[in-house]
A and B are shown apart, each in its own frame.
Chain A
Amino acid sequence: MEVNWPDWLDFDWLDLSWLELPWIDTNWFHDNWYGLLLLGFFWGVVVFTMVGALTAVYVYVERKVSARIQGRLGPMETGPHGLLQTLVDVVKLAVKEDVRPAAADALAFRLAPLLVVVPAIMAFVVVPFGVPMVIRDLNVGILYFLAVPSVTGVGLLLAGWASYDNYSFLGGLRASAQFISYEIPRTLAVVTVVMLAGSLSSARLIEAQADTTWFVLLLPLSFVIYVVTTLAEVNRVPFDIPEAESELVAGFHTEYSGFRWSLFFLGEYASLTTASAFAVALFFGGGLGPFLPPVVWFVLKTAVIIFFAVVLRFTLPRFRQDQLMALAWKYFLPLSLVNLLLAGLVMKAVF
Chain B
Amino acid sequence: MLDSDVQIALFAVFGGIAVLAALAAVLTRYLMRSIVAFGAFLTAIAGQFYLLAADFVALIQIFVYVGGVVVLILFALMLSAVGQKHPLAVSEHRGLGAVVAYAVGGWLVWAAFGADLPEAGEVPGETVAFLGRAFLDQQLVAFEVIGIILLAAVVAALVIVRGERL
Contact = CB atoms under 8 A, between A and B. Distances in A.
Contact of A153 (B2, B67, B78, B85): B67
Nearest to A150: B67
B25 interface: no
A130 to B, nearest CB: 23
A159 to B, nearest CB: 11
A108 B9 CA distance: 29
Interface stretch (A70-78, A80-88, A171-179, A343-351): A171-179
Contacts of B127: 139-140
* Range for the number of chain A residues in contact with chain B: 20 to 34
B63 to A, nearest CB: 4
A161 B39 contact: no
Contacts of A269: none
A151 B55 contact: no
A177 B75 contact: yes
Task: Classify the secondary structure of B's interface with A.
Answer: helix
Contacts of B60: 143, 147
A176 B75 contact: yes
A139 B124 CA distance: 12
Interface of B: 2-3, 5-6, 9, 30, 32-33, 36, 39, 43, 55-56, 59-60, 62-63, 66-68, 70-72, 74-75, 78-79, 84-85, 126-128
Task: Classify the secondary structure of A's interface with B.
Answer: helix
A157 B71 contact: yes
Contacts of B59: 140, 143-144, 147-148
30 contacts: A33-B2, A103-B85, A105-B30, A108-B36, A139-B55, A139-B126, A139-B127, A139-B128, A140-B127, A140-B128, A150-B62, A150-B66, A151-B62, A153-B67, A157-B71, A157-B74, A157-B75, A158-B32, A158-B36, A158-B74, A161-B32, A162-B84, A164-B84, A176-B74, A176-B75, A179-B71, A180-B71, A180-B75, A183-B67, A200-B128
